[in-house]
């Protein structure tokens, strides 16, 4: 029996992007059983776009918080599989949902999402053993911008509401630790969003997760990062990461070392 599929879309004033997102959902070869929108404070008619597309909407009236909004929305969906989709992310392959659902035929798969890039560092079926060998990278294992999860996996481990962001990264790591698999698929997608630079914020969380799970971080290291930062300052080249990029990661590493030392000394 084919598992049921629901779509969860968080939105706020997304009338400019939602029509395309919903159009691409309706173009899928596999239609979802239900679409649920979580309105986090829209004033531009976004909610009506969801209902006009055949979906339903619930309101989130508290301050926005990634994990809390997700957990709240997921309590209103009872389908076996749930695609968590941002209100600015389109699935550009007509069979994207079909491909994602097929991945769950393996009972060990907890989640699947589209690949952000062609970086071959991780396999397309990541396991805990692979993470132990390769460590944590400053990149995506699973993304709540366009990721499908198994409801039972979420029921056992909800998204961590102590985290302000990267709740998807933390959740995926925990699923791997429990013996599950995170799949990645080479799907085409559109991502129409701009935001502030989160290099430091994300690097800080990666170092935090690595320490929590006793994993190493797969990066250049402090010495080589400093060398690359100086090189980018003296001889900048097109396509080369900026000095600020390396500085933000070094700052996150230094803060991690300082907090670890402070904790050890009891200060």
pLDDT tens digits for the chain (267 residues)? 889 999 999 999 999 999 999 999 999 999 999 999 999 999 999 999 999 999 999 999 999 999 999 999 999 999 999 999 999 999 999 999 999 999 999 999 999 999 988 888 999 999 999 999 999 998 879 999 999 999 999 999 999 999 988 999 999 999 999 999 999 999 999 987 666 778 899 899 999 999 999 999 999 999 999 999 999 999 888 888 999 999 999 999 999 888 765 554 444
Residues 259 and 127 in one domain: no
216: containing domain: 199-265
Backbone dihedral region for residue 165 (phi beyond 0: left; psi -120 to 50: alpha; all else: beta): beta
CA distance 41 to 13: 8
Residue 226, judged by CB atoms within 10 A of its CB (0-12, 13-18, 19+), counts as middle
Q: Is the pTM of this model over 0.85?
A: yes
Count CA within 13 A, CB hemisphere, residue 234.
6
Residues 48 and 170 in one domain: yes
Select from 170, 191, 212 the last residue of a domain: 191
pLDDT for 143 equals: 93
Residues 232 and 255 in one domain: yes
Residues 92 and 129 in one domain: yes
Select from 191, 209, 241 the last residue of a domain: 191
What's the number of domains the chain is made of? Answer: 2
Residues 176 and 133 in one domain: yes
pLDDT for 240 equals: 87
Residues 219 and 253 in one domain: yes
Residues 108 and 30 in one domain: yes
Residues 39 and 14 in one domain: yes
Residues 126 and 237 in one domain: no
Select from 130, 165, 191 the last residue of a domain: 191
Residues 59 and 147 in one domain: yes
SS (H, E, C) 178-238: CCCEEEEECCCEEECCCCCCCHHHHHHHHHHHHHHHCCCEECCCHHHHHHHHHHHHHCCCC
Residues 143 and 260 in one domain: no
pLDDT for 264 equals: 42
Longest dimension (CA), the chain: 61
How many beta carbons lie within 10 A of that of residue 62, not counting itself? 10
Burial of 28-42, coded b for 16+ CB within 10 Å and e otherwise, reads: beeebebbbbbbbeb
CATH of residue 18's domain is 3.90.550.10
Residues 177 and 206 in one domain: no
């Amino acid at each position: 029996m084919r598992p049921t599929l629901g779509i969860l879309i968080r939105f706020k004033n997304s009338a400019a992007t939602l029509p395309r997102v919903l159009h691409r959902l309706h173009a899928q070869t596999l239609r979802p059983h239900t679409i649920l929108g979580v309105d986090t404070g829209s004033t531009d008619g976004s909610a009506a776009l969801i209902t006009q597309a055949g979906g339903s909407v619930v309101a989130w009236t508290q301050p926005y918080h990634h994990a809390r909004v997700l957990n709240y929305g997921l309590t209103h969906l009872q389908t076996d599989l749930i695609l968590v989709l941002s209100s600015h992310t389109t699935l550009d392959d007509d069979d994207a949902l079909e491909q994602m659902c097929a991945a769950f035929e393996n009972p060990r798969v907890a989640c699947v999402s589209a690949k952000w890039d062609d970086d071959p560092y991780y396999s397309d079926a990541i396991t805990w053993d692979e993470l132990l060998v390769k460590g944590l990278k400053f990149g995506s294992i699973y993304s709540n911008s366009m990721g499908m999860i198994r409801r039972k996996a979420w029921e056992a481990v909800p998204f961590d509401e102590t985290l302000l962001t990267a709740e998807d990264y933390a959740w995926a790591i925990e699923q791997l630790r429990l013996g599950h698999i995170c799949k990645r698929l080479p799907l085409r997608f559109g991502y129409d969003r701009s935001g502030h630079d989160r290099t430091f914020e994300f690097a800080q969380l990666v170092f935090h997760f690595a320490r929590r799970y006793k994993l190493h971080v797969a990066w250049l290291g402090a010495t080589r990062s400093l060398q690359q930062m100086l090189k980018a300052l003296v001889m900048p080249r097109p396509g080369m990461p900026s000095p600020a990029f390396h500085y933000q990661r070094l700052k996150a590493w230094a803060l991690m070392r300082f907090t670890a030392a402070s904790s050890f000394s009891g200060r």
